[in-house]
Amino acid sequence: MPSIVIDSLSKRFDGVQALSNVSLEIRNREFMVLLGPSGCGKTTLLRCVAGLEQPDTGSIQIGDRTVYSRSEGIDIPPRERRVGMVFQNYALYPHMDVFENVAFGLRMRKTRKKELQSRVTEALELVNLTGLEKRSPRQLSGGQRQRVAVARTLVTKPQELLFDEPLSNLDPKLRVSLRAQLRRLHKQIGATSLYVTHDQNEAMVLADRIAVLQDGVIVQVDEPRTVYDHPATVKVAEFTGNPKTNILSGEINRSDDRLILIPDDDPYCFIELPDSVSGFVGRRVYLNCRPEQVEITSHLSDDLGRLPVLSVMPDGSHVFVHLRLGDTMQQIIARGSVHEFARIRRNELVALNVRRGNIFDFDTEYLLHSFGYEDSGRPALSEHGVEVT
């Protein structure tokens, strides 16, 4: 049975459509991440579930209760929805110490002293803050403050946890550490988690499934690897690129016994494609390939395009090589090991091979086909995002 069911939810703010007919099911004990750029509606959706915003249409069910239904006139107040929410800005009381901040919700519920003491102690142990009970928030680091906020939520033992970008104010190293702790806590307490972020790395690490929002609409709900390997739209492919993905527009043609993409930005560059894209010959498409899926070599083919190397940029154990397309600012980025790209130099002419990629319809920008590696067999999508059988 799903833990949270969102059905046909819409919300407008001063004439701006924040959510458009959103439907989503979060499974029991699942860690679902809402991913999307700023302003796409993900925080609005989370606040609607919490009861902090009232939708214009639709319904929300938490557990076996309908907590909101426009048609039935149901709108359960936030405090009665029995969900826990962790905010981006900690929202700690500065005049209270750590213990009292965590205990606040229990005191409001008039929990007995002995039980209150036990549950606060347990919550602080879960977030590794034992021994800091008497410190004030100003005596804590950012990471410790956020863990106090998490403990304050956990102490009431909610079955559903809502997270509104709780790590976005922390430095990168601390964010990585707290991601692991949040994932551990989720499994340990057995709650259902709905987590908002614009950070694709965070989503990939934390999520059981990711719901990608664009302009108030959910465009894809999948496991993290599927979202990365088979993005439903060009925008999803762009947003989930790290640091950037390759998106090339062009036309697929047949040259002798080979299939090639001729990019719009460089008519003299021919990118060879596998036979599996033969059904798209003569069609204008977008080609998406991640930098690690681009192979480059100094061995030049006479009849394939040669691209100049703009830069070779080491990044730890990897190297990013930027190739220029024609006379435009458009580039193709390849990523490989230091050993793999050891002999590549700036201004050198190189050939490339796309080992894996995705083909999108040029007009609708929906996924048509994925190729390379094991070709996982994921079905193509029509122009409306419907699976093609």
> What does the pLDDT read at residue 301?
58
> Rounded CA gap, 60 and 55, in Å?
10
Percent helix, strand and coil across the chain, each rounded to 5?
25, 35, 40
Element (H, E) at 163: strand 160-164
The pLDDT value given to residue 7: 97
| Token couple for 373 | 């590696």
Q: How far apart are CA 189 and CA 305, in angstroms?
A: 56
For position 101, what pLDDT does the model report?
Answer: 95
Count Cβ atoms below 10 Å from residue 73 Cβ, excluding itself.
7
Tell me, what's the pLDDT at 259? 93
Instruction: Say which residue the tokens 């679902």 belong to.
Output: 32
pLDDT at 387: 39
Q: Are 355 and 292 in contact (CB under 8 A)?
A: no
Q: Would you list the domain boundaries of the chain?
A: 2-231, 235-372
Same fold, 2-231 and 235-372: no
CATH number belonging to the domain at 2-231, selected among 1.20.1050.10, 3.40.50.300, 2.40.50.140, 3.90.870.10:
3.40.50.300
Q: What is the pLDDT of residue 184?
A: 87
3-class SS at 42? helix
CATH superfamily name and code, 235-372: Nucleic acid-binding proteins (2.40.50.140)
pLDDT averaged per 10 residues, the chain (length 389): 92 94 96 95 96 96 95 94 88 92 92 94 91 94 90 90 88 84 87 94 94 96 95 96 92 91 89 93 97 82 74 90 87 90 88 93 96 60 36
DSSP one-letter string for 218-255: EEEEE-HHHHHHS-SBHHHHHHT-SS--EEEEEEEEEE
pTM: 0.89
Q: If you compute the radius of gyration of the chain from its CA atoms, what whole number of angstroms results?
A: 25
Q: What distance in Å separates the CA atoms of residue 153 and residue 130, rounded to the nearest whole number?
A: 16
